[in-house]
Amino acid sequence: MKIKSAIAGSLPKPHWLAESAQLWAPWRLEGEELREAKNDAMTIAVANQLRAGIDVIGDGEQSRQHFVTTFVENQSGIDFKNKKTMRIRDRYDALVPVVVDQIHRERSVFVEDAKFLRTLTDKTLKFTLPGPMTIIDTLFDQHYGSREQLAFAFAEILNEEAKELVAAGIDIIQFDEPAFNVFFDDVRNWGVAALERAASGLSSKTAVHICYGYGIEANIKWKNTLGDEWRQYENIFPMLAQSSIDQISLECQNSKVPMELVEILRGKQIMIGAIDVASNTVESAEDVAKVLREALAYVDAENLLACTNCGMVPLARDVANGKLQALAAGTALLNNELGL
Ligand code: ZN
């Protein structure tokens, strides 16, 4: 069976939907115009993936302004008007919404997007949701008084949402948990359990994406403090290896993660990040194949997926399209080499 390619999640938005190449850019339209424009943007995002030759298709996260906030603002129990300042992942301060009451799911957030996505292609579809630990890391809690309890409250809601997405035809549900790379004790004590709760009972494949963040300044500064070898994954892989999660998405291109750490996850499906999303340089097919080849020492070919390090929303559209093509071409190169 051939090695397949997939993107981690986001792609840049067209400038008529929101300012391009910018994180968290506000919408340029509203109401029915916005709804229609989001669907048009999703159609383009899917077409670009298909044209490049990507195998596992996503919506490019065209309908969300922020990968956490857009999900959270559709739940009750949270005050978005009186925000408070909080330190995010120990790296930068941000004004965040406040949890003021029990959290309930008001409505499905992405199910209409998933239904529309399903009409665009017959290929395997992946849909991304923020993970419980990463969600609570961007909220100021005034009600639960326990990070664990708040995370499990979100895990319940995420599970309801995920079940609706699967019913709409999604094949892989991915939870984004960059916070796993920071709060190792929490991951051990309840983080993986909360993730498994969010993923429980799903008839789809389940995945978790753990990266070192978008290529924004605060993250680049943080990476510079991590030394010559990034061994953060070593703290969390043993728990993930024993978890019920099927696929794990990692940052490997231009990262200082020692590839041998992937061995800890032997038996899991691994999405190896072979595209650097913090650089405007478009990789060659050989750059992509090189990282995948290195990974093959620690993951069986049938469990290897080629992926991007993280989302590509901060990139210019032509750069992102170039990287999509490099990802697919590098994967094809390796498949040829292996005679797959
Ligand atoms: Zn990421």
Helix (H) or strand (E) run with residue 308 in it: none
For the stretch 246-268, pLDDT in tens is 999 999 999 999 999 999 999 99
Ligand 1 centre from 132 Cα, in Å? Answer: 15
Ligand 1 centre from 274 Cα, in Å? Answer: 13
Ligand 1 centre from 183 Cα, in Å? Answer: 16
292: confidence class by pLDDT, cuts 50, 70, 90: very high
Mean pLDDT of 77-88: 92
Average pLDDT of the chain, as a whole number? 95
Ligand 1 centre from 177 Cα, in Å? Answer: 8
Mean pLDDT of 23-49: 95
Ligand 1 centre from 39 Cα, in Å? Answer: 23
Helix (H) or strand (E) run with residue 295 in it: helix 285-295
Ligand 1 centre from 43 Cα, in Å? Answer: 23
308: confidence class by pLDDT, cuts 50, 70, 90: very high
Domain ranges of the chain: 4-338
Q: Give pLDDT, residue 173.
A: 98
For the stretch 107-155, pLDDT in tens is 999 999 999 999 999 999 999 999 999 999 989 999 999 999 999 999 9
Ligand 1 centre from 277 Cα, in Å? Answer: 9
With CA atoms as reference, report the closest residue to 170 among 162, 178, 180: 162
User: Who contacts 238 (Cβ-Cβ below 8 Å, separation ≥6)?
Assistant: 264
Ligand 1 centre from 250 Cα, in Å? Answer: 8
Q: Is the pLDDT of residue 21 over 80?
A: no
The structure's pTM equals: 0.96
- Give the C-alpha separation, 154 to 150, whole Å: 6
User: Who contacts 292 (Cβ-Cβ below 8 Å, separation ≥6)?
Assistant: 3, 272, 274, 304, 306, 330, 331, 334
Helical packing angle, 31-52 and 317-338, nearest 10°: 30
CA 316 to chain centre: 19
Q: Give pLDDT, residue 94.
A: 86
How many C-beta atoms surround the C-beta of residue 87 within 10 A?
A: 11
Ligand 1 centre from 123 Cα, in Å? Answer: 23
Q: Give pLDDT, residue 25.
A: 86
Q: Give pLDDT, residue 20.
A: 76
Which CATH code fits 4-338?
A: 3.20.20.210
Mean pLDDT of 296-307: 97
For the stretch 167-214, pLDDT in tens is 999 999 999 999 998 899 999 999 999 999 999 999 999 999 999 887
E strand map for 172-283? 172-176, 205-210, 247-251, 269-273
Q: Is the pLDDT of residue 23 over 80?
A: no
What spatial distance separates the first Cα and last Cα of the chain, rounded to whole Å? 6
Mean pLDDT of 277-297: 97
DSSP for 55-117?
SBB--TTTT-SSTTHHHHTTEEEEEEEEEEEEEETTTEEEEEEEEEEEEEE-S-SSHHHHHHH
Ion ligand 1: residues, CB < 5 A: 211, 310
Ligand 1 centre from 10 Cα, in Å? Answer: 9
Q: What secondary structure letter does DSSP report for 273?
A: E
Q: Give pLDDT, residue 14.
A: 95
Q: Give pLDDT, residue 66.
A: 87
